[in-house]
Structure 1
Amino acid sequence: MPPSDFDGNASYEFGLAMAKKAGAMIKDAFRRPKTVDTKTCDIDFVTDTDRAVEKMLLSEISARFPTHKFIGEEASADGTKNSLTAEPTWIIDPIDGTMNFIHRYPLVCVSIGLWVDKEPFAGFVFNPILDLFYSARKNEGAFLNGKRLHVSDTTSLSQSLVMFELGTARDPAKRESVIENFNRLLDRGHGFRSMGTCALNMCAVAEGGADAYFEYGVHSWDVAAGSLIVREAGGYVCDPSGGDLDVMSRRMLCAASPVLAHEICSLLFQIYPERDD
């Protein structure tokens, strides 16, 4: 159960406002020169805007809700492990699609998920470059720019457009698993797409523009908001093995229906990245 002092309405409205504020910062910086550093490898980047957006969000959250917890991508960049507790926890990717952001490719977003009692309560994904604002609140539906979303009615891989990502890892085992799974699915689906951002891939499933998406190696901040948006749009989110989603496991699959999800799960080669917690 949520803590007795948890104010769901105030938290939701605050999340909406923070996503818009973060989006304004991203839009303002999008075409400006950027300071870029590497993290885990030479194609895993962080920019000055990633850091500035996360710093702003942490400051605002701490001031408004001092008892709430926070899990952020850049705060975790030093390898610090995070634990998801029952306390209200804001799980944030300040810029999902940093590679796109660096190259001025317009598929970028801020992703903000609020989890309470280890379950998603609210999710916000905002692409300010294309003005796409996705939002969801538990048991109240999912929306794009205020209009209700619904997943497609697809139940078969043979009729599906599937999202997948190559990822940023230089690890040969990860690369081989991506190629193996692509080969396993290639002749079974309508087609495959890759946007370079987990949160927007999930939102594509939520709005029926794609039918499924899976990835190994994602983090809690990549999926915390999108998982609720997909579910509230009538979709299905799970572990790629077919079990329940564990947001800290770095494994995720979402689809328009349970039938489609489990068909894809049955075909996948499984890998188990190091957990976030």
Structure 2
Amino acid sequence: MEERGGDPWQQCMDTAVQLALRAGQIIRRALMEEKRVSTKTSAADLVTETDHFVEDVLISSLKEKFPLHRFIGEESTSAGSKCILTESPTWIIDPIDGTCNFVHRFPPVAVSIGFAVNQELEFGVIYHCTEERLYTGRRGQGAFCNGQRLQVSKVTDISKALVLTEIGTKRDPATLKLFLSNMEKFLKLQTHGLRIIGSSTLALCLLASGAADAYYQFGLHCWDLAAATVIIREAGGIVIDTSGGPLDIMSCRVVAAGTKELAMLVAQELLTIDYGRDDEN
């Protein structure tokens, strides 16, 4: 349970770090094994036995230690659990971000553990399983990768920016047209480049580390956003809604950047792709 006096959530964060490292070991071992792959919402929305196993390990371990806390997990939500963020202490978990990468042994694969209290994101832990990079962020206490403090870039000019995005799981013609139109807009604005790495949490960590300048996506989920949002903000960055307004982690859309100027420039260019809301399902 929460510690009396002092820092009430430090034990939670320490536990999250231990579990992320443990999950990473499981994922690294499974990476080289034969996988049984299923699909969820589309042919591009993959899930494996390892996704389910890792989520079960994480949630059962956390429930044992923090029985009064609530949980939002990618695979339990897919199986029908409600995805609602209340004021209770809540763990928001993606057991494997980059499942398609995991299936193909493409390196960007991560476990993501976010934690919210009173609907405020308190800390985030993201572990890059193949490169053994541990990203952490705690509200008001900074963001780090393997103990090194993270700092976002200060680029404000879109023509000097490296922009990251992800495709999302929809592949219908209307969605693809909007997705490609958004990419075309940034290419016409002469950005330095556009990158897709197959893991939204790790793309957001690259932004937090200053290796990229902006990120946008439609079709990501609260378990992709929760931990990474804390890490980016604690590294000095901006995370907002694609409308330019405040972030709503249930809205399945985001813009993030090292500077507010760049975030607003990206947001104003975007054509909206409707993925609904996580808390509607």
TM range (shorter): over 0.9
Whether the aligned pair in 2 keeps the contact of 1:237 and 1:253 (CA below 8 Å) is yes
Q: Structure 1: give runs of 5+ residues left out of the alignment.
A: none
Structure 2 Cα separation of the partners of residues 4 and 249 of structure 1:
35
Whether the aligned pair in 1 keeps the contact of 2:233 and 2:239 (CA below 8 Å) is yes
Whether the aligned pair in 1 keeps the contact of 2:41 and 2:169 (CA below 8 Å) is no
TM-score normalised by L of structure 1: 0.96
Structure 2 Cα separation of the partners of residues 118 and 3 of structure 1:
20
Q: Number of aligned pairs?
A: 276
Match of 2:132 in 1: 131
Shift of 1:171: 2.6
CA-to-partner distance for each residue in 1:64-103, whole Å, 9 max, x for gaps? 0001100000001135431100111100000000000000
Shift of 1:272: 3.0
Match of 1:176 in 2: 177
Q: Secondary structure at the match of 1:67?
A: coil
Q: How does 1:129-208 map to 2 (within 5 A)?
A: 129-188=130-189, 189-208=191-210
Match of 1:216 in 2: 218
Match of 2:242 in 1: 240
User: Among 265, 268, 274, which residue is 2:270 paired with?
Assistant: 268
After superposition, the Cα gap between the structure-2 partners of 1:17 and 1:171, relative to the gap in structure 1 and judged at 3 Å, is same
Whether the aligned pair in 2 keeps the contact of 1:3 and 1:87 (CA below 8 Å) is no
Shift of 1:36: 1.0
Deviates more, 1:74-83 or 1:107-116: 74-83
After superposition, the Cα gap between the structure-2 partners of 1:80 and 1:63, relative to the gap in structure 1 and judged at 3 Å, is closer
TM-score normalised by L of structure 2: 0.95
Whether the aligned pair in 1 keeps the contact of 2:108 and 2:197 (CA below 8 Å) is yes
Q: Secondary structure at the match of 1:266?
A: helix
AA aligned to 1:162 is V
CA RMSD of aligned residues (A): 1.6
Deviates more, 1:73-82 or 1:192-201: 73-82
Structure 1 Cα separation of the partners of residues 87 and 214 of structure 2:
29
Match of 1:49 in 2: 50
Shift of 1:51: 0.5
Match of 1:71 in 2: 72
Shift of 1:42: 1.6
Shift of 1:4: 8.6
Q: Structure 2: give runs of 5+ residues left out of the alignment.
A: none
Match of 1:32 in 2: 33
Asked whether 1:93 is paired with 2:125, we answer no
AA aligned to 1:169 is K
User: Among 247, 258, 261, which residue is 1:259 paired with?
Assistant: 261
Shift of 1:121: 0.6
Shift of 1:273: 1.8
AA aligned to 1:248 is M
Shift of 1:270: 1.7
